[in-house]
Amino acid sequence: GAGVSQSPRYKVAKRGQDVALRCDPISGHVSLFWYQQALGQGPEFLTYFQNEAQLDKSGLPSDRFFAERPEGSVSTLKIQRTQQEDSAVYLCASSPPGTYYEQYFGPGTRLTVT
């Protein structure tokens, strides 16, 4: 079946622009996670949803980062006033009920802020 999809796959933004990154999880997966992966590093947790409820946003690096999942399926990660340090791959993952650790990752969005 279809896996997790993310769009766009690549995004170049000028410093100060706002960006919106989209994630379509696997159908039936109630849990959805966002991670940020810098070059040469492991993924760093940003935020977690169970259905439409954002249960943990402790990893969001600043109030410029905002995530939503209004109908419990598609999620959007928005970054306002992008900075160079926001350049990274943004990964979305979803997991089936009862197995939070078996996270299925999308291909990621590579964000470059110039």
Partner 1 sequence: RKEVEQDPGPFNVPEGATVAFNCTYSNSASQSFFWYRQDCRKEPKLLMSVYSSGNEDGRFTAQLNRASQYISLLIRDSKLSDSATYLCVVNWGGGGNKLTFGTGTQLKVEL
Tell me which residues touch partner 1 (CB under 8 A): 31, 33, 35, 40-45, 48, 50, 55-56, 58-59, 91, 95, 100-103, 105-108
Q: Apex CA 24: angle with CA 67 and CA 13, to 5°?
A: 55
Smallest separation (angstroms) from partner 1 to the CB of 56: 5
Exposure string over 2-34, b if 16+ CB within 10 A, otherwise e: eebebeeeebebeeeeebebebbbbeebbbbbb
Q: Is 86 helix (H, G, I), strand (E, B) or coil?
A: helix
CB closer to partner 1 out of 81 and 99 = 99
CB closer to partner 1 out of 14 and 39 = 39
Smallest separation (angstroms) from partner 1 to the CB of 18: 25
